[in-house]
Every structure is written in C-alpha cells, then in structure tokens.
Chain A
C-alpha cells in the first residue's frame, strides 16, 4: 500500500532563517506531488506541484521554492523565512490522470511558526 511521510511535524524558526521541509511517498511510482499551505482560518493554497523529477510548477510567487530530486521525494525550501510564511504545510500525492480513480492523499502536515 502507498504511504506518505512528511517531516518535521512542527517547526519554529526565526525570521531570515532557511527552511527545508521534506516529503516522501512509498509504494507508488511517478506520482504527482503537491505542496499546499493552510493559513489560520483560511483554505488550502496550492504552492507547487510536480509531475516528474525536476519538473516543478509554481502557483504562487513567493520566497519559497520546491525541488524534486528523486521520483518520490519532494522538498520545500526557503533561503530566508518571513513572518508571513507561518502556516500549516501539507504535502500530497496523486496518480497521474490515466486511471479512473485517482484521489489526492495527504501527509500529516508541518506546523511552521516563524518568530
């Protein structure tokens, strides 16, 4: 069966510090991978998605970046965090649209607080 791992679960970082959040998927190959952010009291905002190694699409211009160095690994990074980067970050995966049933599956999320 497929599983998704996301870490760390919580993170407190000072303004201006770097960020690296990691997500890995097991039990599937060539998944679509996604990074979402959920700010307090707001809906999910798609940040990045990837359909393959090295292929990253950005939905929102910001000081965050994403990379996909391996097929089932997705990394969210920042060189210098801003206070506005605080939020709940969620990694997700889905199968590419070739099958009839391709739901979106989420990790447990990372609560990031920038101080």
Chain B
C-alpha cells in the first residue's frame, strides 16, 4: 500500500530565502506526482504535476523534481514571499490511475 510522507512538517523562513520541501513515497509504481497548495480553510490548488517519465517541472518561482527510483520528490521555491505562506501537499497517483495518496503536508510560514 502506497504511503506518502513529507518533511519537514512545518517550516519558517525569512522573506527572500530559497527553500526545499520534501516528499517521499514507498511504491515507485506511480503514474504521476502532484504538488498542491492549501490556504487555511480553503480547498487545494494544484501547483505542479510531474509525469512518471519526467524529472522536473517548473512554473515561475516553483520547481518540482521527481526521482522514482529513490521514491522522492522535492518542491523548490525561489525567493520566497509572505504570500507563499500556506500548507503544501504532495500526492502520488498510482499506476492504475484511480487513486491519489496524499502526504500530511508541510506548513510554510514566510516572515516579512
């Protein structure tokens, strides 16, 4: 059964710093891996999706990488801003395509 973990559980950084969020999964037979952002009391907003055949995806200041062999994905945020403060979740989609397994999330605070 797929299990997804995220480290750290919480992170506080000063504005302008570059940071890395980590996501690990136990079963490498995934179809894709998706990163989300969740603001308090809100739904999840999709940030980046990496197909299993890809190594990384970029959108603006965000870069996500995927290493299936080691069961790891990272989300890199460049030049962090207070508006980046939110909880970031990763989800692995299994090879049958029907199920997404989520990590517990990393709560990020960017201090002005």
The chain A residues found within 8 Å of chain B, CB to CB, are: 6, 32, 34, 36, 42-44, 46, 49, 51, 57, 59, 88, 90, 92, 94, 96-97, 100-109, 111
Contacts and interface: CB of A to CB of B under 8 A. Distances in A.
A108 B100 CA distance: 18
Contacts of B31: 97
Contacts of B49: 101, 103
B43 A43 contact: no
Give the interface SS of chain A, mostly helix, strand, loop or mixed.
strand
Interface string B30-47: 011010100001111110
B46 A100 contact: no
A90 B91 CA distance: 15
Contact of B41 (A32, A104, A107, A111): A111
Given A43-B103, A44-B102, A104-B34, A96 B44 contact: no
A97 B98 CA distance: 8
Chief secondary structure at chain B's binding surface: strand
Given A101-B49, A102-B32, A109 B42 contact: yes
A75 B76 CA distance: 37
A5 B3 CA distance: 29
B7 to A, nearest CB: 14
A45 to B, nearest CB: 8
Contacts of A36: 102
Interface centre among B42, B100, B102, B103 (most CB of A within 10 A): B100
Contacts of B89: 43-44
B51 A100 contact: yes
The 4 lowest CB-CB distance pairs between A and B, nearest first, are A97-B97, A43-B104, A44-B102, A106-B43
A103 B46 contact: yes
A51 B99 CA distance: 11
